[in-house]
Structure formats: structure tokens, C-alpha cells
Amino acid sequence: MFRLELVTGAEAGRTVLCEGPSLSIGRAPENDLALRDAHISSYHGQIQLSADGYVYEDRRSTNGSCIVRGTERLPVDESRNFRITLADGDQILLGPPSSPVVIGFQVVESEEATQVVAVARVRDLGEFRGRVERQPDQVARLYRVLQELSWELDLEAVLRATARAVFSLLPRATHLVLVLGDDDERGGGKYVPVYRQVRDNPEADEAIPVSHTIFRRVLAERAAVLVANVLDAEWKTQSMLGARILSTMAVPLWRGEDRVLGVLQVDNRASAGMFGPQDLELLTIVASQASLAILNARLFRRLALAEEQLSKENRYLKKREERRQFRGIIGKSQAMGEVFRQIEKVVDTRVTVLIEGETGTGKELVASAIHYQSRRRDKLFVAQNCAALPENLLESELFGHKRGAFTGADHDKKGLFEIADGGTLFLDEVSELPLALQGKLLRVLQEGEFRPLGGTQARHVDVRVVAATNRKLEDCVKAGTFREDLYYRLRVFPIRVPPLRERKDDIPLLVEHFLSKYGREFGKEVRGISAAAIELLRHYDWPGNVRELENEVQRLVIQLEPGEEVRPEHVSPRVRRVDTLVGEIAPQGTTLHEMMDEVERWILRRALEETGGNRTAAAKRLGISREGLHKKLAKLGIQD
């Protein structure tokens, strides 16, 4: 038990007495000690009972914590793993050094001499079993009650089975509480009550106190402790007197003699009789079996989580392998030929590639082609859209996190950099990467190392980074949203993917591919596409590029009857606008030659209007040379 006194802050003068094993501190109302000070984090820190006494843990608060011990200031930071053992008389400083909330810490529960009836060491377990084996009726009882406990693999079920075993073997037991430490290889650093039960009312939500004095003795001596006649003994702690405990036993749950998993405390609050040494021996044997069951349940849970994670990685790999079958880039135009030549030059180098192009041009396909044609093809190709996740989740996704790094992080997670080790990581929309993460990305690119969120050790990886953007990064640098040093590090070898309007010769090839793809997917035979329909598709600008064309072909396949050919009337109205061009112009000529001249005159004037009279831009939009435009304007008598 300990007392906290608020020395400064909005609630200065308030005193809090804590009888439980832990106390949380923060601005959120659900904290055990809720503070109103604005510079305190919602979940700032907590005080936890451990084998070494009370420990203060900073929960990665914004403004930090510090312990003042005499004249010494001890920051609770990463160098201490954000944890420090408290001493009686310490002051806990929460928030910025200039105006912290100061809380005085005082241990209240006494450590006076006590009337202990029996102490059973863990190392003497074999002797207990020997005495039980000489009593056949006891052996039979133990076998029956422990058999169920041995087969449970769910932790909650193990705790319930442990309680049933205790109440079955110990008729004097009336109340039970199980305290467990952290589930890690170092053993329990923090202990929390995880299960309570009352014999006559298993569903009762009764607060069963844990005697801190007995608890610490069990941890310190690695031994089971029996205290009897508590009401008359010198061991009159406030928690035990308040509960009217006549006798109590506390037994360690252990793995070997050095690692304590937790403590099983059993109380007798009835006057029918008090526990004796034989009860303590039976409880120690139950604790031995419960310890093994808890270890198995925790191992089973870790294996289940690992299996789930492996399953996710396998599905991810399978998905990437399926994508690998569609890694070929379709196109025979001059513009795409230049892209292929650029890929060939960079494919087997280690340099970072920046793929530039409008949305829907197929930048990820280019990145995939770079990976699968390189010597890294046997490793993973991993993609992440930098605009798809908020900053904190994106950092965890890219760099991974350690268990306990933030609320909800109940297990270690590998980041994409670690998953892609030896392979390629594709960062799409890299211009949307938050500034805070740009520094970590730059370090990976320069040093080949990173540190997971909440981790203390750097990890080295060999990952090729291919980035993509549909924005001009130099404009982002000028605007201050993108680091200049990272810009130059990413743009070692830029590749520009042309928009579809600059490679219209590839439209027939793309349409043929998508017709075949979606025909197979929908189980529908498509006879092909008419020349008139192809011309409509060729004359549309496709602002959404290849992705928009793919969606259009998918829609066409859906609406076609089996064996039907795509005709102009099937094409979307927005694409079919060229089909209504003659009606919009309404040529008045009497001969075909005169009408064609009028149509051409309208098209030329429209192009000049849209480009503000810029003949070079108008010629480029029309797909002719500037000299050819001059000749047509002169021939048709157009003055601008």
C-alpha cells in the first residue's frame, strides 16, 4: 500500500491512498488518478507493484516524467526503458520541467514481524509430493482435479480450472485471487490481478485485496507462505483487517526456481477452521500444475499469433506471386519503348528509382517489372501507399513495432522494410510521406538501418527502394512539405511513365488484353471490337489513363451478350463524344469536300482557342507538326 500527495497542479493538496497492485495516472477520466492539468497526457504513467517494490512507468507521455530522489533528478526516459523503481519519499514530476505536476510518494504498509505458520520452498516440491503419495486417497483426489487443468490451452480456462481445483482440494478456502506478471521471457516485471473468485458465488464481482506484504515475501523468497490467526496476529495490515481474513496462503507460480510467473493467494474468511501446513503443501502442488498450464496456454497463444502472422505473410506472398504473372507492361509505342530502355539500364543496380507519372499510368507495374527482372526476383516485392494510412500507423507498417510501444501493441510486429529484406519495397505516393517519417526513410536509404517503433536497437536490412509520385517533388520541396536531401536521394534515377494520350498507338493492344482478361473472369466469350469502336477509344484523351481504359473495357464486357462484338453504341457517352462531332458542327457545305473543310476549320479554331492561340501547343494537341498547322491555317483562311 502506498500514498500519493499532490504537491503542485490543479489538484494540489489532494491525497490518494492505493491498496491495489497498480494505479494509473493521466488526464483521461478512466485513470485511477485523473488529473485536470492540460500538459498531462491522457495516459501519462502508472505505478505498479513488482518483485523489486513499486515501479513507476511512463507510458510514452508527450511531456515526459522525472523522479526526484533527494538532490538527484532521474528522468524516466528511453535510457531506463521508461521504468524506474520508486523509493519511499520520492517525488514524481509529470510534464515539462518548467511547470510539472509534483506528486509525493510514500510507502504506507509496514514490514513488521509477522506470525507465519509455515513457509514452503519451491525446491522442496518433491518432498511434498512424496508425502502426498503415501496417502492414496489424496493421490486420487489430486489426479481427478488436476486432470482437467492439464488439458486446458486457453488462459482463461486455465484460470477457471485452477480455481475449481483449489476449492475442491481445500474445503476451508473461501476466496481466491490470481496475480500474473508480463508474458515475456524475462518473467513478471509488472504484476496484475487477472482472476478472482468467491467459493459460494463464482459470478460475484467482489474486490479481493492482495496483501502486498505477503506478496513481496513470496517473490523475494520464492516460497509459499501461510499466515494464520490473522485477526489476532501482529500481521494486521489494513487490507487484511478490512476483509476479516482469518488465515491466508500465498503460493508462487513459477518456471524453474528463478522465474516467478505470478502469485496464487487463497483466503479463509470463515470461522470453520484455519489453514494448516498440509493445506499449504496441497496448494503448492496445485500451483506447480497451474504454472505449467499457464506456460502452455501462453505458448499456445504465442504460437497461434505467430501462425496467424505467418498465414498473413503467406497470403501476402501468394498475392504478390499472382501479381507476378501480370508483371508485363503492355505497349509498343515509342514512348513505352523509352520506358523499357530505362528499366533495362537500372534493373540490376542498387540505385533508388523514382517513377513519375499521372494517376493510373501503371507506375506500380513499372516498379514490379524492375524487381522481377532483377537479381532480387527471388525475394519479396512489397508495396505500400504512403497516403493510405495515418502517420502513427504508417510508421508501424514500414518499420514495425515492439510489444508495448503503444496502446494495443500486444505483440512484436515486423515492418515492411524487414519483410522486404533482400527484395524491393515500393513506396507509392511518396510525396504524401509525413515529414516526421522522411528522416527515418533517409536513414534507411543512407545507412541501411532503422529502429522499430518502441525499439532500442537498430536493425540492418538490404532493401531496394522504388518510389513513385504523381506530383512534382521539387514543388513539394519548395513548399516545405518534402525534405530536399531526401528528394535528391530518391531521384537518383527518375523514370517518367507517359500518360495514355501520349501513347494512343497502344490502345488497341490494351483493349485486346482487357477484353481477354475480363472475358475469362466473367466466363463470357467476347467476339472482339469493331474498328469504329476502336477509333472512338483512340480519339478520347483518357484523363484517368490506363486505369480508366481498363474500367471502360470491364463495363463493356459486362453489358455485352456472349459472343457479341463491341460496337460504337456500347461505348460510354463521355468517350463517344467524337461520334456527335459532326452534329455539333452542323457543316453547311453542299459537297463532301466543302463539309470536310468546314469540320477541319472548326477543329483547328477549337484547338487554338483551348491553347490561347499558342500554335506550338495547338499543333501538339492535334498531333501534327507546327509547320503542318501553318499550312492548314493558310489553306483554310484562318487568321488568329
Is the model more confident about 130 or about 288?
288
User: Of 102, 96, 61, 98, whose CA–CA distance to 82 is shortest?
Assistant: 61
Is the model more confident about 623 or about 351?
351
369 within 8 A of 343, measured Cβ to Cβ: yes
**Helix (H, G, I), strand (E, B), or coil: what is residue 79?**
helix
491 DSSP assignment? T
State residue 457's pLDDT score. Answer: 83
**Helix (H, G, I), strand (E, B), or coil: what is residue 33?**
strand
State residue 518's pLDDT score. Answer: 93
User: Of 81, 27, 18, whose CA–CA distance to 54 is shortest?
Assistant: 18
The Cα 518–Cα 437 span in angstroms is 40
Percent of the chain, pLDDT > 70? 84
Length of the chain: 640
State residue 110's pLDDT score. Answer: 47
C-alpha cell at 385: 501507399
Percent of the chain, pLDDT > 90? 34
Judged by average pLDDT, the poorest of 167-176, 281-290, 586-595, 607-616 is 586-595
Q: Is the pLDDT of residue 21 over 60?
A: yes
The Cα 500–Cα 504 span in angstroms is 6
State residue 147's pLDDT score. Answer: 75
Q: Is the pLDDT of residue 150 over 70?
A: yes
Q: Is the pLDDT of residue 352 over 90?
A: yes
Question: How confident is residue 113, by pLDDT bands cut at 50, 70 and 90?
Answer: very low
How far from chain centre, in Å, is Cα 563?
48
Helix (H) or strand (E) holding 6, with range, is strand 2-6
The Cα 386–Cα 389 span in angstroms is 7
141 within 8 A of 169, measured Cβ to Cβ: yes
Name the amino acid, one letter, at 262. G
**Helix (H, G, I), strand (E, B), or coil: what is residue 89?**
coil
User: Of 424, 417, 425, whose CA–CA distance to 348 is shortest?
Assistant: 424
Q: pLDDT, tens digit, for every residue of 354-377?
A: 999 999 999 999 999 999 888 888
C-alpha cell at 229: 490467526
Q: Is the pLDDT of residue 244 over 60?
A: no
The arrangement of strands across the sheet holding 259-268 comes to: 116-121, 223-228, 247-255, 259-268, 175-181, 191-198
CB atoms within 10 A of CB 337: 12
The Cα 16–Cα 33 span in angstroms is 8
Q: Is the pLDDT of residue 508 over 80?
A: yes
State residue 186's pLDDT score. Answer: 46
- pTM: predicted TM-score of the whole model, two decimal places: 0.46
Give DSSP secondary structure letters for 592-623. Answer: HHHHHHHHHHHHHHHHHHHTTT-HHHHHHHHT
State residue 324's pLDDT score. Answer: 44
pLDDT, average across residues 481-489 = 94
* Residue for grid cell 453542299: 590
CB atoms within 10 A of CB 300: 15
Question: How confident is residue 338, by pLDDT bands cut at 50, 70 and 90?
Answer: very high
399 within 8 A of 452, measured Cβ to Cβ: yes
**Helix (H, G, I), strand (E, B), or coil: what is residue 439?**
helix
C-alpha cell at 388: 493510405
State residue 328's pLDDT score. Answer: 64
Q: pLDDT, tens digit, for every residue of 68-97?
A: 998 899 999 888 888 999 999 999 999 998
Question: How confident is residue 462, by pLDDT bands cut at 50, 70 and 90?
Answer: very high
Task: Spell out the residues 6+ positions from residue 30 whose beta carbon is closer than 8 angstroms to its own.
Answer: none
Question: How confident is residue 234, by pLDDT bands cut at 50, 70 and 90?
Answer: very low
State in Å, rounded, how far the first CA of the chain is from the last one: 92
Q: pLDDT, tens digit, for every residue of 529-583?
A: 988 888 889 888 899 999 999 999 999 999 999 889 998 889 988 887 655 455 5
Phi, psi of 67 (to 5 degrees): -110, 130
Whole-number average pLDDT of the chain: 83
Give DSSP secondary structure letters for 223-272. Answer: EEEEEE-TTTSS---HHHHHHT-SEEEEEEEEETTTEEEEEEEEEE-SSS
